[in-house]
């Protein structure tokens, strides 16, 4: 089994576990067709980015975590998470500079 196939299964299982943890029920995911989408997004963005995107999806959206929506919008999720991280870093630097300025 190729690494991409294994990672595809891992991503589906990871998403599945996030869903079960969030809703206390199993998601309706056709694993036979989901494996193709998982492989494609991993091939495009990398496994780690896809996992971070899934984490972000469950962190920012309260309900309706659809596997197909996730797969079709993983790039948007990655960009939004990176933008938030960049903003957080800029704010951290700004706070540090403000504290230094206040100390004189």
Q: What is the predicted pLDDT for the residue at 93?
A: 96
14, two tokens = 């990871």
**Distance (Å, rounded) from C-alpha 34 to C-alpha 3?**
16
pLDDT band at 94 (very low <50, low <70, confident <90, very high): very high
Q: What is the predicted pLDDT for the residue at 2?
A: 84
- E strand segments, 21-75: none
101, two tokens = 């300025």
Furthest C-alpha separation in the chain: 63
Contact criterion met (CB below 8 Å) for 51 and 57: no
pLDDT at 104 over 80: no
pLDDT tens sequence across 4-58: 889 999 999 999 999 999 999 999 999 889 999 999 999 999 999 999 999 999 9
pLDDT band at 82 (very low <50, low <70, confident <90, very high): very high
CA nearest neighbour of 18 among 45, 57, 69: 57
pLDDT band at 1 (very low <50, low <70, confident <90, very high): low
């Amino acid at each position: 089994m190729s690494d991409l196939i294994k990672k595809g299964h891992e991503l589906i299982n990871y998403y599945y576990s996030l869903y079960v943890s969030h809703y206390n029920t199993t998601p309706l995911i056709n694993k036979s067709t989901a494996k193709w989408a998982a492989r494609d997004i991993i091939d495009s963005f990398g496994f780690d980015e896809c996992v971070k995107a899934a984490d972000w999806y469950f962190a920012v959206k309260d309900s309706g975590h659809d596997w197909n929506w996730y797969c079709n919008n993983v790039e948007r999720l990655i960009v939004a998470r990176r933008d938030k991280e960049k903003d957080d870093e800029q704010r951290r630097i700004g706070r540090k500079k403000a504290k230094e300025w206040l100390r004189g």
